[in-house]
Structure 1
Amino acid sequence: MIDWDLAVRVGSRLAGDGPTVSRAEAAGVVDELRRGAEQSTPLVREFTGLVAEERTAPVLVVDRPGWIQANADGFATVIAPIVAKLQEKKGPPSPMTEAIGSRVTGAELGLMLGFLGNKVLGQFDPFHDAAGAAGRLLLVAPNIVHAERELSVDVHDFRLWVCLHEETHRVQFTAVPWMRDHLQSLMAEIVGSLETEPGRMLSEGLSRIGDLVSGKTDGSLIDLVSSPEQKKVIDQITGVMSLLEGHADVVMDGVGPEVIPTVAEIRAKFTQRRKGVGTLDRMLRRLLGLDQKMAQYRDGAIFVRKVVDVVGMDGFNAVFAEPANLPGKDEIHDPAAWVRRVHG
């Protein structure tokens, strides 16, 4: 149903190669990012109290096409149950439908990956499972170099700052092994309630895209085609992701002053950068739900800081004790409610 090779080709072409660097500079960036990820492990452990075995997930420093290929592989795994469900109801597509449809969807996915492929600085992929690894950490070298030049910040401080954020995600999933299974179970719930009429989904989604782009309605494309049952599960996922992203932001800023002298300057400039530039950029961010992603960083960080202020870091770490202790979307905006529920 999706021409994955075409998606990777289209995405890589759209994303481009990134900033021009010499071979020696590129090698230096790769080496520094690898060392930054390794240096971050004990720093995150000391600050958070979460203990994750070192080197349980490989660190890959990739270029833009490498990130796009990794995410295409990840998407193929995630949507496999959806494809199976569609084919179970509709049967396998005709050769003509498969030939044309797969290229159309491949090109569409490639456009999305291409847009994101020149923006993402790093990513922890918890669902990658190869040779017993507990996920993998991807650091996108050309995007990091582009960002540090664009922001005019100390390059060594910025690289370590990025590594701290992404390493926190690695620790979250490797120190809390049930987190991956919990997210997978939530995704399975969405698949289980999936509307298997693609034409209906498309028509309903297209009818409301105008309102979404114009700002008359909130959300993203995913919200437009989600059923009420799916939205309940999406709210749970939103709560988890807000927690994880906010926690990582708190760690990178909390650890930062000890090892990153210019952390305050970096945070101020990077927060401004997250808002996006240009009308087209803002529209695409809204359609893809990136505005919601930015809200997750902000709301999650506020939640973590307020909870830590009340019950300390050890008390906060109760969120990682079991799935029932994870905050819901409403509790992310009401930290006191979470404290009452979990700590009495």
Structure 2
Amino acid sequence: MIDWGVAQGTATKLSRPGPDLSPAEADDVVGELREAAARSTGPVREFSDLHAPDTVQAQAPVLVVDRPRWIEANLGTFEVLMDPVVARIEAGRPRSGLAHAVGSRVSGAEIGGLVALLSGKVLGQFDPFWTGPRGEGGRLLLVAPNIVHVERTLDVDPHDFRLWVCLHEETHRVQFTAVPWMRDHLRGLIDELTAATDLDSEAVQRFLTEGVGELVKVLRGTSDASLAELFQNERQKAVVDRITGVMSLLEGHADVVMDGVGPDVIPSVATIRKRFDQRRQGGGGLDRVLRRLLGLESKMRQYRDGAVFVREVNEKVGLSGFNAVWERPENLPDRAEILDPAAWVARVHG
């Protein structure tokens, strides 16, 4: 169904080269990012009051990578997550060897092109679905060339910016290592989304009759829907609402933590935040269209809405009251509660 080798080759070929750095400069960046990640651990855990247990499963390594390595890591995760969908499609629609080979290469090229585009945008990422050789759960990826590119574009202090990025990403690492059920819960939601996926001709027809009109709105700038949203059925939308709630919580919480810790350890944090928020708004018309189609606009809303949720809940019930969100999956907010923090407080705290 998907030729992952073609995806890897396409993404690597299409990804843009990073900033021009000498070998010595690259070594310095890698070393500083590793040090910044280590420095972030204590302040993040103290501010959030989240502490990972001393187990192998909670030991998520920190890796400083370039764009090709990020591509390789993400395609590996995509393959694991998409295996159930591929298995369902191939079981229901057996094809000839030639058709299968051609189709899988086309699909691989499409995925490779998408990942190549994203490879130049991601600064850091916690991959909760990677399992290490000793059973480690998850890994943190810091994409060095992208971090250098953005710090230069924003014209901010590189040392401060690197630590600032690490504060955000370290928060994600703590969220998954200190909350042992989070990884399986998120994987369960993805499996539910897979089970709700339409694989029949009616789904395609529905897109042709309804989705094309929405796609035109996206291109005109009158809709914030992504390509994925155009294909969603009602069952999928219900699961996506829950996934959106979780992701908004995780991203918003990371932003709140980095802003809470930042003033104590990063002298230029106010300048960095102001310029970075301007960057999040996107560039020109074509850039905005691509961001909508790829779901990046929705991602930006997750940061914003999630941070508002975290701050308002903390104001109402304090840090210990907010941290009830990590006690069990039933305490996680859905999309509606992210936008209505008082509703979450009433449900969880009465």
- Specify the TM-score bucket, using the shorter chain as the normaliser: over 0.9
Q: What are the superposed Cα offsets for residues 43-81 of structure 1, whole Å, 9 maximum, x if unpaired?
A: 111000000147701111110111111111111000000
- Give the match for residue 252 of structure 1: 258
Deviation at 1:207, TM superposition (A): 5.5
Report the CA distance shift for 1:207/1:82 in structure 2 as closer, same or farther (over 3 A): farther
- Give the match for residue 143 of structure 2: 140
- Give the match for residue 321 of structure 1: 327
* Separation of aligned partners in 1, 2:174 and 2:132: 18
Moved more, 57-66 or 11-20: 11-20
Which of 123, 126, 134 is matched with 1:124 structurally?
Answer: 126
* Separation of aligned partners in 2, 1:189 and 1:311: 32
Deviation at 1:187, TM superposition (A): 1.1
What secondary structure sits across from 2:283 in the alignment? coil
* Separation of aligned partners in 2, 1:162 and 1:244: 15
Within-5 A mapping of 1:145-160: 145-160=148-163
* Separation of aligned partners in 1, 2:11 and 2:53: 34
* Separation of aligned partners in 1, 2:160 and 2:38: 15
Unmatched 5+ stretches in structure 2: none
Specify the code of the residue in structure 1 equivalent to 2:137.
Answer: A
1:298 aligns with 2:304: yes
* Separation of aligned partners in 2, 1:139 and 1:11: 18
- Give the match for residue 48 of structure 1: 48
- 8 Å Cα contact 2:171-2:257 kept in structure 1: yes
Specify the code of the residue in structure 2 equivalent to 1:182.
Answer: H
Q: How many residues align?
A: 343
1:36 aligns with 2:36: yes
* Separation of aligned partners in 1, 2:132 and 2:45: 25
Specify the code of the residue in structure 1 equivalent to 2:102.
Answer: I
* Separation of aligned partners in 1, 2:348 and 2:8: 44
Deviation at 1:166, TM superposition (A): 0.5
- Give the match for residue 240 of structure 1: 246
- Give the match for residue 11 of structure 1: 11
Identity %: 58
Specify the code of the residue in structure 1 equivalent to 2:344.
Answer: W
Deviation at 1:13, TM superposition (A): 2.4
* Separation of aligned partners in 2, 1:12 and 1:208: 32
Specify the code of the residue in structure 2 equivalent to 1:273.
Answer: R
- Give the match for residue 117 of structure 2: 115
- 8 Å Cα contact 2:249-2:310 kept in structure 1: yes
- Give the match for residue 289 of structure 2: 283
* Separation of aligned partners in 1, 2:201 and 2:263: 50
- Give the match for residue 316 of structure 2: 310
Specify the code of the residue in structure 2 equivalent to 1:8.
Answer: Q
Length-normalised TM-score, structure 1: 0.96
- 8 Å Cα contact 2:218-2:289 kept in structure 1: no
- 8 Å Cα contact 2:252-2:303 kept in structure 1: yes
Deviation at 1:326, TM superposition (A): 0.6
1:172 aligns with 2:175: yes
Deviation at 1:217, TM superposition (A): 3.3
Within-5 A mapping of 1:205-244: 205-206=211-212, 208-244=214-250
* Separation of aligned partners in 1, 2:247 and 2:174: 15
* Separation of aligned partners in 1, 2:29 and 2:106: 37
1:84 aligns with 2:87: yes
1:184 aligns with 2:179: no
What secondary structure sits across from 2:131 in the alignment? coil
Q: Which runs of 4+ in 1 moved over 6 A?
A: none
Specify the code of the residue in structure 1 equivalent to 2:250.
Answer: L
The CA RMSD measured in Å over matched residues stands at 1.5
Q: What are the superposed Cα offsets for residues 104-160 of structure 1, whole Å, 9 maximum, x if unpaired?
A: 111111111111100100000000112211100000000000000000000000000
1:25 aligns with 2:53: no
- 8 Å Cα contact 2:203-2:231 kept in structure 1: no
- 8 Å Cα contact 2:224-2:297 kept in structure 1: no
* Separation of aligned partners in 2, 1:140 and 1:115: 14
